[in-house]
Structure 1
Amino acid sequence: MVSLVALLLGALLWVPGWALRCYGDSGQPVDWFVIYKLPAQSGPGNEARKGLRYRYLDGSSGGWRDGAGPINSSEGAVGRSLQPLYRANASQLAFLLYNDQPPKPVWAPDTSSNGHAKGILLLDQEGGFWLIHSVPRFPPLPSSGAYTWPHNAQTYGQTLICVSFPLTEFTKIGRQLAYIFPFVFDHKLDGIFAQKFPGLKDVARGQHIRQEPWNSSVTLISQAGIKFQSFAKAGKFGDDLYAGWLAEALGADLQVQFWPNSQGTLPSNCSGPFKVLNVNQTSFPGPAGPTFHSTEDHSKWCVAPREQWACIGDMNRNHGEEHRGGGTLCAQLPAIWKAFQPLVKTFNPCMDNPRAKKPGE
């Protein structure tokens, strides 16, 4: 009887550590997942019209699947993963929330000197996750008491990647964030967390890299032992993340999806050893599609046509962001690459000809 009680107590004590992994659409903890929130009007039904449909991907999903419900549901992968933020008994958690477009009612000064960066760190003494996304005004403040999806993020496409990491990796993540210089709109890094992660505490206080080199790449190992590569640049790097560094670092041509509606958008670049081509149109496979133009898509990702690299982040290609911090998280993981590589329907070539090319042309 005593041994049974001990086992039950042990299981209960283990729950917080598991709760802070990424949670998938199935309701079970996963090592990583990717969400592609589809643009509004990208299919039939009320959820499509409201811009609440999404496609879901993880290591066992076998490719893109329809989301478990609307993106604003607490039963989906994003809602489940963020539930610990909104629980009253979250005293043993640490978190850091950053967004250059923070949620209301946060008062934000001019964030243009901060990184163009959006993300969430959530951890306890067992481990946690890093969720990188493209969603403005997200997530809602923990003090709001509930997970919601911002109304202003419904119209356009958005991407989110969540990766579960052991506690030791958050020291390296903190260093990457020091390059990015994110606008931290809320955080909780008390006691043991402040002692273990002084770098994260410094980031929360607004400290950042002040000397060369102005960029940093580190390998991060997930809880399941999967290798991810984090790329982070400071504003003083002074160049485009993709054409100025990432393509050569990966040794691959890149097709980049980003928000093209901002001022000073950079054209496709073929001046270096590797091409960086702006995605013009995205299309999900299958008769239901959907297909949509990059002007409808606020997501930020890139894929190598051949070398199996895929990256998901929070940076655009424009003149302004050459002088802002930011980054992306990459993996040479077949499950992610096979999901993203077919999405590129057309891209803008490096020529005066305005006709968008199809992959392979």
Structure 2
Amino acid sequence: MWSFLLVFGLLCWGSHGSVTCKNDLNAEVDWYILYKIPRMDHISSGSTTGTEYFYIDSSGRNEELSNINSPNGVLGNTLRPLFRPIRNMEETFGFISYSDQPPGCGADPKRFGHSKGLVMVDRTGTGVWILHSTPRFPFRRDQNNFWPNSGNKHAQTFICVTFNYNQFTTIGTHLQYINAFPFEHYIPDNFHEELKNVVKWTEGSPYISDKVEVSLLTSNRNQGFKVFAKQANADEEVGDLYLSIAKDIRSDVYAQTWGCQPKRSLSYCSTDISVINVEDIAVGNRWMWKPKVDHSKWCVAKDQNTHWTCIADMNRAVSQYERFGGALCIHLEKVQGHFLRFAIHPQRCLKRPHPVCDPDSDGDNLQLIG
């Protein structure tokens, strides 16, 4: 009898206490990247609903999956520790949901960074950092209602990484560097000061750095990552996140950012380093689209001897150079290979595109906070 109770208790704790990235089979993975497909009609392979996605993870899987909004899918499984009332959360668990476009309101762009993500942590073990591009995500802390319907329209990216608790001092500091807006959170008093300071957004002024902040992180299974926090400056040479990344990794980069961003910057081309906009994206075996329907933000090293790929916060425009934000970058050849194949048509230098864009409602009619 006692053996049964002990095993039952351990199973129950494991279902709540294991804070890691999870795949669609609810198995733990060290990290994964999702590239969600935009909703599209009249394509040769048939229409898409906008819930399909391409999945890459630390186990070597790379495949097309569907129903990103499923309660038992990759995101639903990963977010499960979040789907409880705060009063029922263990004292060893904490979370921060941050976004410049949270559900039902908006963050003051003069005070807060252009960034979206989620931190969930078990103080006695591991936690996850999810960096993404989807407005209003998570929509609710509800297994059946975490995905915003507005998220179906455009392509989006997600990266989830499992880290040991000690790495969250660096992550907390990074979130302060980018002035992330924490729209929902629960961080107990015995957590790292760096995480507690993230949620004290009403105290003091925005953090302003006079340089690009670059930090190294190591995942739970020893995968290397680099995290960038950009400067806020209208000068492209200073405020362009992707140019800062290219200079640091010493490689030209292909960059995909929101194609309908007002006054979107051209490719940056010089004899020393270049940031080359992507004009067509191809994912998987049958999907292709243009940046005007792609809200993701990422870049990949062009040099195939420099294996960096970054999932990022920022678009490329002066209005974005003036804001805070950053990127989480993975150093792995197979990931770089996927993203180089995604970037099928680079923008030639000095060529200005004129995308025909549908109105983007992501930021309309939102009450500013801060």
Q: What TM-score range do you get, normalising by the shorter chain?
A: 0.7 to 0.9
Tell me the equivalent position of 1:168: 166
Tell me the equivalent position of 2:58: 59
Per-residue deviation, 1:145: 6.5
Q: Is the contact made by 1:21 and 1:128 (CA closer than 8 Å) also made in structure 2?
A: yes
Per-residue deviation, 1:184: 1.2
Tell me the equivalent position of 1:78: 75
Tell me the equivalent position of 1:280: 279
The partner residue of 2:230 within 229, 233, 237 is: 233
Tell me the equivalent position of 2:178: 180
Indicate how the Cα distance of structure 1 residues 118 and 6 shifts in structure 2: closer, same or farther if over 3 A, else same: same
Per-residue deviation, 1:234: 4.1
Per-residue deviation, 1:4: 7.9
Return the TM-score normalized by structure 2: 0.85
SS in 1 for 2:197: helix
SS in 2 for 1:191: coil
Superposed counterparts of 1:330-345, under 5 Å: 330-345=329-344
Per-residue deviation, 1:191: 2.8
Tell me the equivalent position of 1:358: none
SS in 2 for 1:235: coil
Indicate how the Cα distance of structure 1 residues 70 and 4 shifts in structure 2: closer, same or farther if over 3 A, else same: closer
Indicate how the Cα distance of structure 1 residues 116 and 334 shifts in structure 2: closer, same or farther if over 3 A, else same: same
Q: Is the contact made by 1:132 and 1:162 (CA closer than 8 Å) also made in structure 2?
A: yes
Tell me the equivalent position of 2:362: none
The partner residue of 1:292 within 289, 293, 299 is: 289
SS in 1 for 2:190: helix
Kindly provide the CA deviation profile for residues 239-270 of structure 1, in whole angstroms up to 9, marking residues without a partner as x: 11112x11010111100000021112111011
SS in 2 for 1:312: strand
Tell me the equivalent position of 1:268: 267
Q: Is the contact made by 2:230 and 2:240 (CA closer than 8 Å) also made in structure 1?
A: no
Return the TM-score normalized by structure 1: 0.87
Per-residue deviation, 1:205: 1.5
Per-residue deviation, 1:112: 4.3
The partner residue of 1:204 within 178, 199, 206 is: 199
Indicate how the Cα distance of structure 1 residues 120 and 354 shifts in structure 2: closer, same or farther if over 3 A, else same: closer
Q: Is the contact made by 1:300 and 1:315 (CA closer than 8 Å) also made in structure 2?
A: yes
SS in 2 for 1:141: coil
SS in 1 for 2:79: helix
Q: Is the contact made by 1:87 and 1:145 (CA closer than 8 Å) also made in structure 2?
A: no
Kindly provide the CA deviation profile for residues 143-179 of structure 1, in whole angstroms up to 9, marking residues without a partner as x: x564431121111100000000000000000111111
Indicate how the Cα distance of structure 1 residues 208 and 12 shifts in structure 2: closer, same or farther if over 3 A, else same: farther
Aligned counterparts of 1:215 and 1:90: Cα–Cα separation in 2: 36
Tell me the equivalent position of 2:361: none
Kindly provide the CA deviation profile for residues 48-79 of structure 1, in whole angstroms up to 9, marking residues without a partner as x: 5431111111022443x111x31111111111
Per-residue deviation, 1:182: 1.1
SS in 2 for 1:177: helix
- Structure 2 unpaired stretches of 5+: 355-370
In terms of fraction of residues, the more helix-rich structure is 1
Aligned counterparts of 1:214 and 1:293: Cα–Cα separation in 2: 33
Indicate how the Cα distance of structure 1 residues 349 and 203 shifts in structure 2: closer, same or farther if over 3 A, else same: same
SS in 2 for 1:50: coil
Superposed counterparts of 1:27-42, under 5 Å: 27-41=26-40
Per-residue deviation, 1:283: 1.0
Q: Is the contact made by 2:100 and 2:107 (CA closer than 8 Å) also made in structure 1?
A: no
Kindly provide the CA deviation profile for residues 170-208 of structure 1, in whole angstroms up to 9, marking residues without a partner as x: 000011111100111111012322xxx212222212256
One-letter code of the match for 2:219?
Answer: S
Matched, 1:154 2:152: yes
Per-residue deviation, 1:17: 3.8
Indicate how the Cα distance of structure 1 residues 86 and 328 shifts in structure 2: closer, same or farther if over 3 A, else same: same
Aligned counterparts of 1:189 and 1:159: Cα–Cα separation in 2: 26
Aligned counterparts of 1:171 and 1:272: Cα–Cα separation in 2: 38
SS in 2 for 1:27: coil
Aligned counterparts of 2:343 and 2:60: Cα–Cα separation in 1: 21
Q: Is the contact made by 2:266 and 2:351 (CA closer than 8 Å) also made in structure 1?
A: no
**What is the CA RMSD across the aligned residues, in angstroms?**
2.5
Q: Is the contact made by 1:187 and 1:204 (CA closer than 8 Å) also made in structure 2?
A: yes
Count of matched residue pairs: 342
Per-residue deviation, 1:346: 0.3
- Structure 1 unpaired stretches of 5+: 356-361
Indicate how the Cα distance of structure 1 residues 14 and 285 shifts in structure 2: closer, same or farther if over 3 A, else same: closer
Indicate how the Cα distance of structure 1 residues 236 and 284 shifts in structure 2: closer, same or farther if over 3 A, else same: closer
Aligned counterparts of 1:124 and 1:347: Cα–Cα separation in 2: 42
Per-residue deviation, 1:11: 5.7
Per-residue deviation, 1:272: 5.7
One-letter code of the match for 2:170?
Answer: K
Q: Is the contact made by 1:179 and 1:234 (CA closer than 8 Å) also made in structure 2?
A: no
Tell me the equivalent position of 1:258: 257
Percent identical: 32
